[in-house]
């Protein structure tokens, strides 16, 4: 047996895969696959390919996905700080295109941290509609929120809640829900040796129990006519075919939507989940059949004519009261913006947000961001947030300081240094090859650094 893989895992996979096991096992001798996904909210794939100094090869199942070389360190490049792409395992890039959320819809990612798939869903939504990205673990929710911010997602509410508490608040509310479930992570063994060590023979059964609980809440939140995508990065049938079999038995109004078998996607195996033939509509991405670490994906649809019984859009009073406090923000816009962000402004304490249209009342829920964070009202002035810089373009502001990625000034900016520079006084958008990195504030002969302290490169 391969020296790193758990023996019980190999025995089970051998029993399941029979003749195919040798190829599966051999795949563990290969290096892991590594990829980045272009953030189409900011740049097109073609533009990134011509701009970035990385070797990029297309991922067949994601028009915005590319294989790249870890040693070229794309995660340590200023374009990463600019949110032009997200480092993502290639098979994980299959999820969002299969759920395919549309601009204007209400979409939930129930287990969203660190945000690879949520930011991909956001790209499909093109800034229109409502995305709720939820993560139950507080520290992971914070990372999720930072990634939502870096990628310039404006129409996303980031919550830190348990699925039951969300289900209570949002019955039959969402058009599409992604449940990228916590799983035994067998598809992570090549990527992350720790996943190998943490695995136990009981993990799949324990994970399956939790997956059923999470899915029960997800189904409650799905509109009739809505779509639910269930995914894992593990191979255990208990967490894959058996879960779908359980879903179909527990919720007769759910049906499998067959997924296409192109790009080397294999059919799920009905015999591994009780035998019903519609399980074959789910797909398995195997590391020995395509270039990816492995995934299971099942798309389900709730029958019905697509009418939500959910909470109607709209929220409580509060905007009018806030209006008189907005004068400093409006003055900031007049002075520094050419295009003023449009939408529903709302103050939470001193912090100003632009809420996604149709955003529901959120009182009582743990919220990391209720929408697009524009900034905060200090005494007699408005301070723009990093999230504001990350979701606008250079054209939207009067003053920009642009540097090329090769210029040392970019790296000094990202380390938090002030840059010697002359220009119009005030808030200045620092850009790398035209793409926003954050704020600076111009004084007589220097650009003061407003790159967030927590993000600075040490
Ligand atoms: C596979 S990861 C999600 C990865 C994410 N979708 C992405 O693409 O970046 C599963 C997440 O579920 C969270 N989780 C753990 N237990 C949970 C529970 N009971 N309910 C909801 N989420 C849970 C984990 O903290 C983890 O962040």
Same domain, 215 and 316: no
Beta strands in 137-238 (DSSP E): 156-159, 174-180, 222-232
Residue 18 class from Cβ within 10 Å (0-12 exposed, 13-18 middle, 19+ buried)?
A: exposed
Return the active site residues. Answer: 233
Closest-lying ligand 1 atom to the alpha carbon of residue 213: 19
Same domain, 103 and 252: yes
Same domain, 340 and 449: no
Alpha carbon 320 to its chain centroid, in Å, reads: 33
Q: Using CA atoms, how far apart are residues 442 and 398, in angstroms rounded to an integer?
A: 12
Same domain, 262 and 114: yes
Same domain, 146 and 218: yes
The whole-number pLDDT of residue 307 equals 60
Q: Is 140 in the pocket of ligand 1 (CB under 6 A)?
A: yes
State yes or no: 344 annotated in a binding site. no
Residue 378 lies in a domain: yes
Same domain, 274 and 227: yes
- Name 12's Cβ contacts closer than 8 Å, sequence gap at least 6: 236
- CA 363 / ligand 1 centre spacing (Å): 23
Same domain, 161 and 285: yes
Q: Is 94 in the pocket of ligand 1 (CB under 6 A)?
A: no
The whole-number pLDDT of residue 2 equals 60
Residue 85, phi then psi, degrees to nearest 5: -160, 170
Quick one: DSSP state of residue 407?
S
The whole-number pLDDT of residue 82 equals 98
Beta strands in 303-366 (DSSP E): 344-348, 351-355
**ipTM for this prediction:** 0.99
Give the domain-ending residue among 369, 392, 415.
392
Within 10 angstroms of residue 49's Cβ, the number of other Cβ atoms is: 15
Residue 45 lies in a domain: no
Residue 2 lies in a domain: no
Q: Which tokens sit at 250? A: 């527990």
Answer yes or no: are the C-beta atoms of 219 and 251 closer than 8 Å: yes
Give the domain-ending residue among 345, 367, 392.
392
CATH number, domain containing residue 149: 3.40.50.150
Q: How many domains does the chain have?
A: 3
Residue 160 lies in a domain: yes
The whole-number pLDDT of residue 434 equals 98
Q: Is 182 in the pocket of ligand 1 (CB under 6 A)?
A: yes
State yes or no: 116 annotated in a binding site. yes
Q: Is the dihedral of CA 79, 82, 87, 90 positive or negative?
A: negative
CATH number, domain containing residue 440: 2.30.130.60
Q: Look up the pTM and report it.
A: 0.96
Q: Using CA atoms, how far apart are residues 252 and 245, in angstroms rounded to an integer?
A: 11
Residue 330 lies in a domain: yes
Residue 424 lies in a domain: yes
Residue 177 sits in which domain range?
A: 92-302
State yes or no: 55 annotated in a binding site. no
Residues 172-183 as b/e (b if ≥16 CB within 10 A, e otherwise) read bbbbbbbbbbbb
Residue 235 lies in a domain: yes
Same domain, 199 and 179: yes
Q: Is 115 in the pocket of ligand 1 (CB under 6 A)?
A: yes
Same domain, 377 and 297: no
Residue 55 lies in a domain: no
> Residue ranges of the chain with pLDDT lower than 70?
1-3, 306-322
Q: Is 165 in the pocket of ligand 1 (CB under 6 A)?
A: no
The whole-number pLDDT of residue 3 equals 57
Q: Using CA atoms, how far apart are residues 218 and 215, in angstroms rounded to an integer?
A: 5
Q: Using CA atoms, how far apart are residues 156 and 333, in angstroms rounded to an integer?
A: 22
Rg (CA), the chain: 23
Same domain, 233 and 130: yes
Atom 10 of ligand 1, nearest CA residue = 182
Of 27, 17, 229, 260, the closest CA to residue 117 belongs to 229
Residue 343, phi then psi, degrees to nearest 5: 145, -160
- CA 209 / ligand 1 centre spacing (Å): 14
Same domain, 291 and 157: yes
State yes or no: 111 annotated in a binding site. yes
Q: Using CA atoms, how far apart are residues 274 and 270, in angstroms rounded to an integer?
A: 7
Same domain, 369 and 456: no
Closest-lying ligand 1 atom to the alpha carbon of residue 115: 9
Give the domain-ending residue among 392, 408, 425.
392
């Amino acid at each position: 047996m391969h020296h790193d893989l758990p023996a019980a895992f190999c025995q089970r996979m051998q029993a399941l895969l029979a003749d195919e096991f040798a190829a599966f096992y051999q795949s563990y001798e290969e290096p892991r696959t590594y990829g980045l996904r272009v953030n189409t909210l900011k740049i097109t794939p073609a533009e990134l390919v011509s701009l970035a100094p990385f070797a990029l090869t297309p991922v067949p199942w994601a028009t915005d996905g590319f294989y790249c070389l870890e040693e070229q360190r794309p995660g340590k490049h200023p374009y990463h700080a600019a949110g032009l792409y997200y480092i993502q395992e290639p098979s994980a890039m299959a999820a969002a295109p299969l759920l395919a959320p549309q601009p204007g819809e209400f979409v939930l990612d129930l287990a969203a941290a660190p945000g690879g798939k949520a930011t991909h869903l956001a790209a499909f939504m093109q800034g229109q509609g409502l995305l709720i990205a939820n993560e139950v673990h507080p520290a992971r929710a914070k990372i999720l929120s930072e990634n939502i911010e870096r990628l310039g997602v404006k129409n996303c509410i980031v919550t830190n809640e348990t699925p039951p508490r969300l289900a209570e608040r949002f019955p039959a509310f969402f058009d599409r829900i992604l449940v990228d479930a916590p799983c035994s992570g067998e598809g992570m063994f090549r990527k992350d040796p720790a996943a190998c060590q943490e695995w136990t023979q009981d993990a799949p059964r324990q994970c399956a129990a939790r997956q059923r609980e999470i899915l029960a809440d997800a189904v409650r939140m799905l509109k009739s006519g809505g779509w639910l995508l269930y995914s894992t990065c593990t191979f255990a049938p208990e967490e894959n075919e058996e879960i779908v079999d359980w879903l179909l038995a527990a919720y007769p109004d759910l049906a499998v939507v067959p997924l296409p078998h192109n790009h080397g996607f294999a059919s799920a195996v009905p015999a591994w989940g009780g035998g019903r033939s519609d399980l074959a509509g789910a797909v398995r991405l195997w590391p020995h059949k395509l270039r990816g670490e492995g995934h299971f994906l099942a798309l389900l649809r709730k029958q019905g004519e697509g009418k939500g019984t959910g909470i109607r859009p709209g929220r409580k009073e509060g905007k009018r009261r806030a209006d008189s406090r907005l004068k400093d923000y409006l003055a900031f816009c007049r002075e520094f913006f050419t295009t003023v962000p449009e939408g529903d402004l709302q103050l939470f304490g001193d912090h100003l947000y632009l809420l996604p249209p149709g955003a529901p009342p959120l009182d009582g829920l743990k919220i990391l961001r209720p929408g697009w964070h524009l900034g905060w009202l200090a005494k007699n002035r408005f301070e723009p947030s990093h999230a504001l810089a990350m979701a606008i373009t250079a054209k939207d502001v009067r003053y920009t300081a642009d540097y090329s990625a090769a210029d040392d000034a970019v790296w000094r900016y990202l380390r938090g240094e002030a840059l010697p520079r002359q220009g119009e006084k005030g808030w200045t958008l620092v850009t790398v090859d035209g793409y926003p990195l954050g704020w600076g504030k111009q004084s007589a002969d220097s650009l003061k650094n407003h790159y967030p302290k927590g993000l600075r490169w040490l």
